[in-house]
Homo-oligomer: A and B are copies of this chain.
Amino acid sequence: MEFLVTITQNWAALRRHPDLDQLVAAERQVGRALVEDGIIVRIWRLPGQRANIGIWRAADATELLALLDQLPLRPWLEAEVMALATHELEAS
């Protein structure tokens, strides 16, 4: 099942963190693994905001929640989740 996930960083709080560089590096590494594992199917940045929007693949909302909780920046992220249904133009 696929979800549309919009993730916004609370940058005001995050940028004062003493270990910011390490956190961001860790976040990137986890992000790469999620892309390689086919969990993050597509991802884009939203111009003008510290936010990204992505297509995530998970068995259900419980698994998606566990995946999001793995992100090192999780405490500074707000995520909005929309459950997606198959469209007939893609089904075949």
Interface flags for A44-63 (1: CB within 8 Å of B; 0: not) read 11111100111100001110
* A47: nearest chain-B partner, CB-CB: B65
Are A86's CB and B47's CB within 8 A? no
B-contacting residues of A (Cβ < 8 Å)? 1-5, 10-13, 15, 28, 31-32, 35, 40, 42-49, 52-55, 60-62, 64-65, 68, 75, 78-90
Indicate if the CB atoms of A52 and B87 lie closer than 8 Å.
yes
DSSP majority for the A interface? mixed
Q: How far is the CB of A47 from chain B (nearest CB, A)?
A: 4
- Beyond A12-B13, A15-B75, A35-B90, is A85–B46 a contact (Cβ under 8 Å)? yes
Also in contact, A81 and B15, with CB within 8 A (given A35-B89, A62-B86, A89-B32)? no
